Amino acid sequence: MQLVRCLVVAAAYLVLLAGPVSYASPKLLPFSQERNATLIRFIKWFLALWLVREVNAVLNSWAENRWMWKSDKSSWDWKNEIAVITGGSRGIGAMLAKRLVSHGVKVAVLDVEPLSDDFQDDECRLVSFYRCDISSRDAVHMAAEAIRSDHGSPSILVNNAGIGNANSILEVSPERLRAMFDVNIISHWNTVQEFLPDMIEKRKGHIMTTSSMSAFLGFAGAVDYASTKAGLTAFHEGLTQELKHRYKCPQIKTTIVYPTWTRTRLITAIEKGIQSTRAPIMDTKDVADAMVNQIIAAKSGQLILGPSIAATVRALPIWLQELVRDHMAHVVTVNATTAVASSR
């Protein structure tokens, strides 16, 4: 569709560019010849800018698809696919599991908490729970062996699990800091090292990374969280490059998702601070829908589920960047971890 739209805009621009001078005559529109000429020049510039925008979109899509024009969706049979979701018992992960199940995909949830009561009986038939501390390489291996024994090799991996602190740099304890990095980023090495080899052997798979808009914007009170999410951007980009250039397997899809504030336990302690900035808060269903649509479309790329300006904030002048960060400085004003807050 993008390519078709680009070609249509290009054709319109070339027709107008190569059109006869009579296009600017009073016969075209009920204006004077001078006004008609001005209008035609305006339309030419408008089409030129539109064409640049469409060409950029086509190139972006082409690059995200590993410089391949087509995605081979025929290799995906959703009723025979197995997805692993970390942190899938609640929140975004649980909603993602429910949406994948609606397409017939079998889901294996890796979590330290059991499945929430939100799962219906018919959904539970396609969802399997494996208690697993994803920060432990051995625990991930044991869970993976059980999944392969029960269902076969997964073709979809969603690294979704995450925890959040609400502490300043001086306040956060070494234990909380270590747990944050272990769960939010080190675990991605554990799961990818476990499940990627089978995907490479079959030349098919999709690895999805749940990040956050905080990857683009570090702010007071959540420096550790933002650091892990910024690290996930590097992880996603590096994984994508290695699949193309080290393992010669561009068929494996990679997606990174940047949700804005989402109504989960992670924001319970800081919701008032978020509301003070008038920032929107997404529902988990909207985030999960976008993620599942990407998986079902068999596409790679980035999903920015929030203000698009956040992704380009570092291209702004420094004074503007600092104004944005200053605006966010009082979102996190409690001392908390995940959804457990304590007053100062």
Query: Under a CB-based contact definition with an 8 Å cutoff, are residues 2 and 61 in contact?
Result: yes
Catalytic residue among 98, 204, 229, 253: 229
As a whole number of Å, the CA-based R_g of the chain is 24
Catalytic residue among 98, 225, 253, 258: 225
The Cα 92–Cα 147 span in angstroms is 21
Query: Under a CB-based contact definition with an 8 Å cutoff, are residues 66 and 73 in contact?
Result: no
Query: Under a CB-based contact definition with an 8 Å cutoff, are residues 257 and 305 in contact?
Result: yes
225 catalytic residue (yes or no)? yes
Closest CA to 212 of 275, 164, 253: 164
The Cα 82–Cα 147 span in angstroms is 9
Give residue 230's Cα distance to chain centre.
13
- Report, in this order, helix, strand and coil percent for the chain, each rounded to 5: 55, 15, 30
Task: Count, in order, helices (H) and strands (E) of the chain.
Answer: 11, 10
Neighbours of 211 (CB within 10 A): 26
Catalytic site positions: 225, 229
